[in-house]
Structure 1
């Protein structure tokens, strides 16, 4: 029995290149793994991006400016202000204008935001353990290095 992406999607002809197959494998894997995370987050009325912003704030441990949150996001956010608006409306973050410079707005995690993250810590950790249960620690380190390298290759190509 044939295995691999081609068999999984019922592709009859070979891929145009190994690079195309690797890319499509990456996309397919991302979609499957990310959809599981998305379902878990939806149970807490959060999007992936909202969760990411909350985790950034918790990790920093102190208020941050909106642009600082945007810089650290895993996925690019074109409208970080709107994302923070939604988090504020849900009472997961609060904003405060700087006394020194009224143009500066600080965003901080509320106790409700911390509580939501705490509720998600264990189920999300368990989900990741399940998703990657078939890999050894060395395989996971190798996978992470290869994925990082793929992003570095693209960044290098785009800067030339």
Structure 2
């Protein structure tokens, strides 16, 4: 923590970020109400859109217990959003693969979230939007840097 930043400023920033995070979560839940998935299932599908994972990898990524992730994947599979596939190089390994229906849901939800953000940013100037984007990118990098220490 830098000595140049007052505790009061840090407290204000934390409160604003917490508030913004809450609004984003609420809006995300509203959007998800129109789809046959829960918030934890959405998070799992987001990870799987980047590539197949084992239950263990998915558990580690989303911070859920192995058994909870297994139940979550069972429900996703039942809804034909994912499938279990044997690894081609090691048949003992089972990977979770997102199906087109799951991919479509993720893409639609993200598009609606982006539309919401567009509405929020409607009164921002181009410079303000660019500055916000740069500052958020820097904040994200710093958070990742500290998390890896």
Q: TM-score, normalised by structure 1?
A: 0.67
User: For the residues of structure 1 that align with 2:119 and 2:84, how far apart are their CA atoms?
Assistant: 37
Once the two structures are superposed, residues 83-136 of structure 1 have per-residue CA deviations (whole angstroms, 9 ceiling, x without a partner) of 222211222111134476564211111232233234334323212323444341
Distance 1:146 1:100 in 2: 39
1:120-139, aligned counterparts within 5 Å? 120-133=109-122, 134=124, 135-139=128-132
Q: Distance in 1 between matches of 2:88 and 2:46?
A: 26
The structure 2 residue matched to 1:32, chosen from 7, 12, 23, is 23
Structure 1 vs Structure 2 CA RMSD: 2.9
Distance 1:46 1:131, change over 3 A: farther
- More relative contact order, 1 or 2 (CA 8 Å, 6+ apart): 2
- Counterpart CA distance in 1 for 2:144 and 2:18 is 14
Contact 1:33 1:131 in 2 (8 A): no
Q: CA deviation at 1:34?
A: 1.6
2:71 corresponds to which of 82, 85, 96: 82
Distance 2:144 2:89 in 1: 39
- 1:77 Cα deviation after fit: 3.0
Give the Å deviation of 1:42.
Answer: 2.0
Higher helix content, 1 or 2: 2
Secondary structure class of the residue paired with 2:50 = helix
Structure 1: which 5+ runs fail to align? 1-15
Q: CA 1:150–1:110 in 2, change beyond 3 Å: closer, same or farther?
A: closer
Q: Spell out, residue by residue over 1:48-75, the C-alpha distance to the aligned partner (whole angstroms, 9 max, x if none).
A: 3322322332332xx332233345x4x5
